[in-house]
Amino acid sequence: MDFENTNTLTLPVLPLRGLVVFPKSLIHFDVGRKKSITAIKKAMETNQLIFLSAQIDASDSEPKLIDLYKIGVVAKVIQVQKLPENTTRIVIEGKYRAKIESPVFDKGCMMAEVEPIPDAITPPTSRDTALIRAVREQFERFIEIAPKTAPDIIFKVALCKSTGELADYITANIPLDYTIKQMILETLNQYDRLETVLDELMNEIYILKIEEEITVKAKMRIDETQRDFFLREQKKVIEEELGEDDNPSDEAADYADRILELKLDEKSQETLLKECRKLMKMPYGSQEASVIRTYLDTVLDLPWNTSTKDKIVISKIRRELNKTHFGLEKIKDRIVEQLAVRKLSDKQKGQIICLAGPPGVGKTSIAKSIANAIGRKSERIALGGVKDEAEIRGHRRTYIGSMPGRIMAAVQNAGTNNPLIILDEVDKLSADYKGDPTSALLEVLDIEQNYKFTDHYIDIPFDLSNVMFITTANDLGAIPAPLRDRMEIIEINSYTREEKFNIAKKHLVPKQLELNGFSNKELKFTNKALYTIIDYYTRESGVRTLERYIASVMRKCAVKKLENGEEVFKIDDKAVEKLLGNKKYLPDTYSKKNEIGVVNGLAWTSVGGELLPIEVAVMEGTGKIELTGSLGDVMKESAHIAITCIRSHANVLGVDPGFYKNKDIHIHAPEGAVPKDGPSAGITMATAIYSALSAKPVRCDIAMTGEITLRGKVLPIGGLKEKSMAAYKHGIKLVLIPKLNEPDLSELDPAVKEKVDFIAVEDFTEVVKLAVINPVKVSEKAWNDINLPVEPKASPAGVRQ
C-alpha cells in the first residue's frame, strides 16, 4: 500500500456528524459548515486527500480537533458540486485508516498531522475462512428480512477475500449507530473486527425479527376490525333482504319515530333525521356514533311541546305575594298587571323584568314567589362571574365534552317550554378572550327575536318567547346599554325602619324559630327588641344582617336551654344587649335646643335615610370660606351657591352686605370621616349661613331638604321616602321639602305621615319664615326685585354705546 513515501501526512480535517467512512467505500454527502468547505478547497488545491473523522458529540456545531475521534480515514475527493444555500456536495473514496498525531495551526480550517495505519497482509487460515463463511451466511439472512437493501451488495460481499475488507464493507452498508461503526473502524485486528461485525449482524437480525412479529400482530388486529365491519355490513344486507330492518327496536328507527312525533318545522326535522341516517351507517361502538346518540337524546329531551297552564287568579296571586313579602308594592302591582293581561289575552308573550336594588332586599326570593303564585316551574341561573359566551349559547359539537348553554339546560331541567327563569346578578357578567356573555344575552332577552333562539349545541331554533325572564341586578350602570334597553327596570329601594320591623316580625322570626327548634310560645321577641337590633346592630339596605342577629340570639338561647334548663325566653331590648354585646351603631344626635348656625338636614344613603346636621361658624376675618366634613364637589358647589344667594339678598335679609370682606365662614358637616355629596343640602346650608350671619337661632325640631339656586329657588330632590323615615326616627316634628316633591308624599310610610308634618316650599324666604326664630320680615316683592334684570340707561344723543 502506497503511503506517499512518508510516515506522517499533513492534511485538512473534515469532521463528520453521525457518519463513519470506511476504506475502499465510495460515498457522497453535503457539507455546509464554513470551515469544512475551506478544508475541501484546500484538499482540491493539493493532492485531493482529506482526513475524515466522526465527531464524538454529533450535536456540536463548532467542533475542535479534540472533539473528534483520533482514528479516521484518509480519503480522496473525487467530485465537488456547489448547491444552493451555501451547501457543497462532495463525492469521496476512502483510502486507508489513519490516526491524528498532532494538530497543525491554520486560520481557515482544521489541519492535522496524521499517521497511516496499514492493514497487516497475512495469508488466510482455515479459521479465517470459517469466520468469513459464517458472516456471509448471516448477512444473507439479514438481507432477506432487512427492508430496501440493494441486491448488488451480496455480489460485492462475495468478492471480498480478506477478513478486514469484508468487515469494512458490511459495516459500511448496514444501518448501525455511528458509535458502533466507529468502534469497528478502530478495531485494527482484522479477525477481531470481523467477529464484532458477526455479533452486530446477529443482533440486528434478532431485532428485525421482533419488529416483524409486532407488525404481523398489528396487521392481525386491523384485519379483525375490518372483519367485524364486513360482518356488520353483511348483517345489514341480510336484515334488509328478510325485511327485518323496519323493526321498531332498531335504534336509528326509534330515534326517527320520536323526531316525527315532535312535529317540528320542516328544516329542523330534516336536520335531526339526517343525524339518524348517519347513525344508521356507523358501527355501534364507534366514537362518532356515541356523539350522535348524546346529541339526539339531548334534543329529544327538550320540552318542545310541553307547557304548564297558568293558574291566574288575581286575588290569590296578590294574597300569595303579600304572604311571602312585606312592602315592595310597586313590584307586586307590576306583576299582577302583567298576569291580568295574560289572563285576558294569549297574544301576550313573556316579558323581561329587571329587579334592580341593593343586596338583601328580596329580589331573588320575590321572583321565586311569582313562579309559585302562578303555578309555573322556575329555574335560577347564577350569572355572577360568567365570562365565557358558550355558558349562554352552548358549545359547538366539534369540541370534545360539548354541552348546551345554561339557558337550554334550564329549560330542559324545568321540563316545560314556558318556565320562569331567574337570571341572577346580570350585572356581574364580564367579558374575556372567550367572548362577551352580555352580548349573547341580547337575543335571549329580546321578545322580538327569542322565538327562534339557536343554541350552538342544539343547532336548531327553540322558541323562548313563552318563557318569563326575571333578571336581578345591584348596579344598573354595569349593564351594557343594549341589554338594559331590552328589560323593564323596576327599582327596589332599601327598606325603611318600619318595613324592616314588619319583615322581621312576620317572616324572619317565624323562619328562625323553626330552624332553631323553638316554638313561638317558648321564645318571644318584644317589638322594642326588634327595633333595638335594627337601630343599634345593623346598618344595611336589606335584612340579611338582621336575620343573622335574630338567629344569633336564638342560638344563645338554645345553649341556655340545654345547659341551664330554661324553658321560656322573653327577648326585650336589655336581653338583646346582654346576648349580642355592646351596641355597634349609636344613634345620630341633634341638639334639643334652638341654636345659631346649626340646621338639621336630611341625607339619603344606600342603607336608608340619615339626619345630617350642618354647622356654620362666622368669625372676623378677610372673607375666607372653609368647607370641611369630607364634602364632595357637588356639595361644595351647593355651599358656594348658598353663600352667593345670601350675599345677593343681604339687604333684604337684614345681614351685613360686606360680610364677604370682613367675615370668615366655616361650614362643617359632622362625621368628617364619612364622604358626603349631592345638592340636596342647599337650603340647609343657606339657612345655617343666614342664621350665623344674622345671629338668629333655628328651630331644633325642624329638618329640611332641597337644592337651592342663586335666586333662592328650591329645586326637587330624590330619596324622600328614606329621608322622611330618618326624620321620623329622630323625633323631628316638621320637614320642609321642595314644592315639586309634593307628589312623592303619597309613597311615604303611613306611620311617618301620621307623626311628621311636611310643608312644601318654593323659595328661600319661605324656609326662613318657617325655620328661623324671629326672622327679618322679607316681602316677596323686595326679594323678587333683586332677581329682576337691570334695564340699561338711555345713552345721550350723539354718544355711541
For the stretch 149-182, pLDDT in tens is: 666 676 677 677 778 888 888 888 888 888 888 8
Report the pLDDT value the prediction gives residue 2, as an integer from 0 to 100: 45
Contacts 24+ apart (CB under 8 A), 285-291: 291/397
Query: Using CA of residue 381, residue 386, residue 389, residue 395, what is the dihedral sign?
Result: negative
Give the least confident one: 169-178, 237-246, 293-302, 544-553. Answer: 237-246
Quickly count: other Cβ atoms within 10 Å of residue 340's Cβ: 14
User: Would you say 689 and 626 are in contact if contact means Cβ atoms under 8 Å apart?
Assistant: no
Euclidean distance between CA atoms 21 and 737, whole angstroms? 107
Give the least confident one: 445-449, 656-660, 693-697. Answer: 445-449
* Percentage of the chain lying above the pLDDT 70 cut: 90
Is 80 exceeded by the pLDDT of residue 693?
Answer: yes
pLDDT band at 704 (very low <50, low <70, confident <90, very high): very high
Q: Give the helix/strand (H/E) hosting 498.
A: helix 497-503
* pTM over cut 0.85: no
The listed range with the strongest mean pLDDT (449-453, 493-497, 532-536, 754-758) is: 754-758
pLDDT band at 147 (very low <50, low <70, confident <90, very high): low
Euclidean distance between CA atoms 487 and 353, whole angstroms? 5
User: Which has more pLDDT, 230 or 799?
Assistant: 230
Q: Output b/e per residue, 2-14; b: 16+ Cβ within 10 A.
A: ebeeeebbebbbb
Is 90 exceeded by the pLDDT of residue 508?
Answer: no
Report the pLDDT value the prediction gives residue 285, as an integer from 0 to 100: 61
Is 80 exceeded by the pLDDT of residue 101?
Answer: yes
CATH architecture group of domain 497-580: Orthogonal Bundle (1.10)
Give the least confident one: 117-131, 193-207, 456-470, 523-537. Answer: 117-131
Euclidean distance between CA atoms 128 and 194, whole angstroms? 9
What value does the mean pLDDT take over residues 651-670?
86
Report the pLDDT value the prediction gives residue 73, as an integer from 0 to 100: 92
Report the pLDDT value the prediction gives residue 249, as an integer from 0 to 100: 39
**Domain spans of the chain?**
9-117, 130-211, 251-301, 314-482, 497-580, 598-785
User: Would you say 542 and 355 are in contact if contact means Cβ atoms under 8 Å apart?
Assistant: no
Report the pLDDT value the prediction gives residue 393, as an integer from 0 to 100: 80
What is the DSSP code string of 707-771? EE-TT-BEEP-S-HHHHHHHHHHTT--EEEEEGGGGGGGGGS-HHHHHH-EEEEESBHHHHHHHH
Euclidean distance between CA atoms 685 and 663, whole angstroms? 17
Is 80 exceeded by the pLDDT of residue 655?
Answer: yes
Count how many Cα atoms sit within 13 Å of the Cα of residue 536 in the half-sphere of its side chain: 15
What value does the mean pLDDT take over residues 501-507?
84
What value does the mean pLDDT take over residues 181-192?
84
CATH architecture group of domain 9-117: Roll (2.30)
The CATH class for the domain spanning 598-785 reads alpha beta
pLDDT band at 226 (very low <50, low <70, confident <90, very high): confident
The CATH class for the domain spanning 130-211 reads mainly alpha
The one-character DSSP state at 640 is H
Report the pLDDT value the prediction gives residue 161, as an integer from 0 to 100: 74
User: Which has more pLDDT, 436 or 104?
Assistant: 104
Report the pLDDT value the prediction gives residue 786, as an integer from 0 to 100: 65
Query: Using CA of residue 371, residue 377, residue 382, residue 383, what is the dihedral sign?
Result: negative
C-alpha cell at 217: 400482530
Query: Using CA of residue 313, residue 314, residue 316, residue 320, what is the dihedral sign?
Result: positive
What value does the mean pLDDT take over residues 674-680?
79
Q: Residues 235-261: pLDDT tens digits?
A: 777 766 665 554 433 677 777 888 888
Quickly count: other Cβ atoms within 10 Å of residue 530's Cβ: 24
User: Would you say 690 and 774 are in contact if contact means Cβ atoms under 8 Å apart?
Assistant: no
User: Would you say 717 and 679 are in contact if contact means Cβ atoms under 8 Å apart?
Assistant: yes
Catalytic site residues? 680, 723
Report the pLDDT value the prediction gives residue 738, as an integer from 0 to 100: 92
CATH topology of domain 314-482: Rossmann fold (3.40.50)
User: Which has more pLDDT, 497 or 346?
Assistant: 497
Quickly count: other Cβ atoms within 10 Å of residue 731's Cβ: 11
Quickly count: other Cβ atoms within 10 Å of residue 738's Cβ: 24
**Cβ-proximal residues to 555 (8 Å cutoff; 6+ apart), any chain:** 516
Residue 792: burial class (beta carbons within 10 Å; 0-12, 13-18, 19+): exposed
What value does the mean pLDDT take over residues 647-664?
84
Percentages helix, strand, coil for the chain (3-state, rounded to 5) are 45, 20, 35
Report the pLDDT value the prediction gives residue 754, as an integer from 0 to 100: 84
Euclidean distance between CA atoms 131 and 140, whole angstroms? 14
Euclidean distance between CA atoms 89 and 31, whole angstroms? 6
Q: Residues 566-598: pLDDT tens digits?
A: 888 888 888 888 888 887 777 655 567 888 889
Euclidean distance between CA atoms 205 and 211, whole angstroms? 10
Euclidean distance between CA atoms 736 and 704, whole angstroms? 5
Same fold, 497-580 and 598-785: no
The listed range with the strongest mean pLDDT (110-114, 218-222, 370-374) is: 110-114
What value does the mean pLDDT take over residues 40-64?
87
Report the pLDDT value the prediction gives residue 780, as an integer from 0 to 100: 64
Give the least confident one: 325-329, 458-462, 626-630, 685-689. Answer: 325-329
